[in-house]
Amino acid sequence: MEIAKFWNIIWDNEPFHWAIAAVLIVAIVVEIYTVWWYLHLECGETQASISFLIKLQNGKNANKLNKVSRWLKKHLGTDDVKKIRQNIAQNDDRIILIKYPSVLARPIPRTSLRFVTTLCTAIGVLGTFYGIQKGLQGINLSTENSQELMNASTGLLQGMTTAFSTSLMGLGSGSLFTLVLFGCDWRRQQGRDSLRQKLENIATLKTADNGNHEVFEALSLVAKNLTGLKQPG
């Protein structure tokens, strides 16, 4: 019941109200879509690849998708499961990355819809002046007819109702969209940070130290093969 009363206060079925509502709804839909696009499309390949590597690290079998193969070749140098398992075994259960995922290194994308808050407020202010002007148009200050003044006062009150309800609609919609922006930014940040943490738990970026370790392993293998050869007389 209270919600219905509140709605009747801010909604007056004027063009300005419909304009604010249309801008708000479209902006919310676009903002939610951009969050989905970032988490499931831009970060989706990295997310699937990290899940694949976690399963390999735990000794489980995992299905290797095409996008996972591309990611493994780019960031590990190979998509051969046997080589990856050897990589894990030789590096204390850690995976050596030759390239860190750029999607996790760069800042999260900022929304381009922050102007919507100002736009909703501006439409509300415009509707306020429209309502005031609409109410003042019916007032004839030179008349002495009390009935005419009463009718003009009624028209002024109706115009003021439109004015104040439009202002409330604009300010309320702008405030609501600010909260939506905060929630969407938090969701992007939380999703990116979660992937970062998962990757840091299982992988290490290739450095000079672990690179020298690989060279040492290769030289040791060559030395073992040479010991079996006969020395020339």
Task: Tell me the DSSP string of 110-176.
Answer: PPS-THHHHHHHHHHHHHHHHHHHHHHTT--TT---HHHHHHHHHHHHHHHHHHHHHHHHHHHHHHH
Q: Which position has the higher pLDDT, 165 or 207?
A: 165
- Predicted confidence at residue 224, as pLDDT, reads 52
Q: How far apart are CA 129 and CA 112, in angstroms?
A: 29
Mean pLDDT of 163-184: 91
Confidence label for 226 from pLDDT (cuts 50, 70 and 90): very low
- pTM of this prediction exceeds 0.85: no
pLDDT over threshold 80, residue 233: no
Q: Which position has the higher pLDDT, 138 or 19?
A: 19
Paired tokens of 138: 């019916």
Kindly report, residue by residue over 91-121, the tens digit of the pLDDT: 788 888 898 999 998 999 888 899 999 999 9
What is the SS3 assignment for 204? Answer: strand
Q: How far apart are CA 100 and CA 88, in angstroms?
A: 17
Q: How far apart are CA 158 and CA 199, in angstroms?
A: 61
- Predicted confidence at residue 212, as pLDDT, reads 46
Mean pLDDT in the chain?
Answer: 80
Kindly report, residue by residue over 46-92, the tens digit of the pLDDT: 999 999 999 888 878 777 778 889 999 999 888 888 888 887 888 78
Kindly report, residue by residue over 180-202, the tens digit of the pLDDT: 999 999 999 999 999 999 999 98
What does DSSP say about strands 203-205 and 95-97: parallel, antiparallel, or unpaired? parallel
